[in-house]
Amino acid sequence: MIERQQSVNSDIDTKIYLPREGDLAGEWVDLLAARSIKLADAAPDARQYDGPSNPRWYGAAELLLTAPAGASIGDVVRDMGLAFPRGTPDGLAADATPRNGLQRC
């Protein structure tokens, strides 16, 4: 069901700015960011994985954002071989956001 997947080349000194809101407003965020960057630096003997992707590696938001146009949330769930819970509202995957009901897993 993954429709788009491509490598992204990063430029040296690329900066990403995130608002200090919600979970990112904590005092520990700077330390977490510094440690994350240090872990992301590849070791000299590191190899890049170029095998197949697995949808279970991603969160709900990433999976829903890459769903084909017109696919429902239930379509994405069933495509992964899972059962869509009864009574759960279904809608277009592209419309699912935290503001309209998508919950963090």
Q: Which residues of the chain have pLDDT under 50?
A: 1, 104-105
Q: Give the pLDDT score at 88.
A: 83
Q: What is the DSSP string of the chain?
A: --------PPPTT------S-GGGGSTTHHHHHHHHHHHHSPPTT-----S---GGGS-HHHHHHTSPTT-BHHHHHHHTT-PPPTT----BGGG--GGGTPPP-
Domain ranges of the chain: 55-100
Global model pTM greater than 0.75:
no
Q: Give the pLDDT score at 104.
A: 46
